[in-house]
Amino acid sequence: MSTTYDVIILGGGVAGMTSAIYAARANLRVLILDENACGGLVNWTKVIENMPSYTSIGGMELVERIQEQVEALGVDIEEAACIDSIDLTGEEKIIEADDTIYKAKAVILATGRKPIPLEVAGECENVHFCAICDGAAYKGKKVLVVGGGNSGFDESIALLDQGIEELLLVEKMNRFFAAQSTQDELTSHANATILHSTEVTAVSCDEKLESVTLRNVATNETIEYPCDGIFVFMGQQPGTAIFQEQLSLDSDGYIETDELMATSLAGVFAAGDVRPKKYRQITTAMADGTVAALEAERYIRSLAG
């Protein structure tokens, strides 16, 4: 595999792969580098029903189809890449990964976001971020789910499907944010309880989890809730620490761009969830990826004079 490209895309989620499709079809030499498998958060989505083209499709299946399209266009993909250093400041962009130095004329940053941890939980072994991966261990037991968005409700239903005996979902805000149909589905389970205006203030965990302390943020009342496991779905935060010395980030750590996905550095573009934006959907990630690739192409052509 060559190590010199027109465009290197960091992150193989939907935004990154859409960028790759556009860049490859513009006859640019393209590499996708991802620290994990391609697909990003879409891999965590059980069913997708809001994307034109499929009435309903599993997240992993959608990723597989997009990746097949990307590979058919001749894009090089390096998954499970250990990225050591990035220098985006020069005209030539340099990325060191897996002891290999990659160079490109332009870079598109599409590294997405990662789950926000439950800080009070420390190193407790019984704190999880994936119901499918870890839910079976809690069959017949009590679990707490933290987060009242779509993920919290969807994963709660997945936990109950695996035989959880009792489930409590808490949300810090004064309402839930999941789709009403999903809320209705969870509340139809007799062994599920949901509480808004409630936060976790402490976790009692020695060798294993014993209980959590919950505080009602409106009344300040606290209760002790004995449980065996905690599943955390409090949203996401951008993984931009590696860029922070080189790029302009906003106060939450997202990469600032203009409407054409240009960052504060020439030849560096950002797309998808790593940007500050109101709506983080597959379709908006595709839109970002499209614009970023078209602008990267335009930038590279301008270098050629």
Partner 1 sequence: MSGITPIPTEHIDNFFASLSDAILFFHKELCPHCKNMEKVLDKFSAKTPSVEIFSIDGEAYPELLSKLSFERVPTLAFVRNGTVVKVKTGLMNPRELKALYSSL
- Provide, rounded to whole angstroms, the least separation between the CB of residue 66 and partner 1: 14
Phi, psi of 89 (to 5 degrees): -80, -30
- The residue written with tokens 């106060």 in the block is 251
- The number of residues in the chain equals 305
Alpha helices in 105-257 (DSSP H): 131-134, 150-161, 180-187
- Provide, rounded to whole angstroms, the least separation between the CB of residue 137 and partner 1: 4
Catalytic residue among 84, 98, 133, 258: 133
Q: Residue 26's Cα: distance from chain center in Å?
A: 28
- Beta carbons of 7 and 107 less than 8 angstroms apart: yes
How far, in Å, CA of 160 to CA of 192, rounded? Answer: 8
Whichever of 101 and 133 has its CB closer to partner 1, that residue is 133
Clarify whether 206 is annotated catalytic.
Answer: no
- Provide, rounded to whole angstroms, the least separation between the CB of residue 81 and partner 1: 8
Whichever of 13 and 267 has its CB closer to partner 1, that residue is 13
Whichever of 25 and 139 has its CB closer to partner 1, that residue is 139
Whichever of 39 and 272 has its CB closer to partner 1, that residue is 39
Strand 209-216 vs strand 198-205: parallel, antiparallel, or unpaired?
Answer: antiparallel
- Provide, rounded to whole angstroms, the least separation between the CB of residue 24 and partner 1: 21
Q: Residue 198's Cα: distance from chain center in Å?
A: 25
- Provide, rounded to whole angstroms, the least separation between the CB of residue 199 and partner 1: 26
Clarify whether 227 is annotated catalytic.
Answer: no
How far, in Å, CA of 42 to CA of 44, rounded? Answer: 5
The backbone region for 53, taken as left when phi is positive above 0, alpha when psi lies in -120 to 50, beta otherwise, is: left
How far, in Å, CA of 52 to CA of 33, rounded? Answer: 27
The candidate with the shortest Cα–Cα distance to 126, out of 109, 112, 138, is 138
Whichever of 82 and 218 has its CB closer to partner 1, that residue is 82
Clarify whether 130 is annotated catalytic.
Answer: yes
- Provide, rounded to whole angstroms, the least separation between the CB of residue 133 and partner 1: 5
Residues that bind partner 1 (CB under 8 A): 35-37, 39, 43-44, 46, 58, 60, 79-80, 82, 98, 130, 132-134, 136-137
Whichever of 106 and 143 has its CB closer to partner 1, that residue is 143
Cα dihedral 217, 221, 227, 231 in deg (nearest 10): 0
Neighbours of 187 (CB within 10 A): 14
- Beta carbons of 167 and 160 less than 8 angstroms apart: yes
Residues forming the active site: 130, 133-134
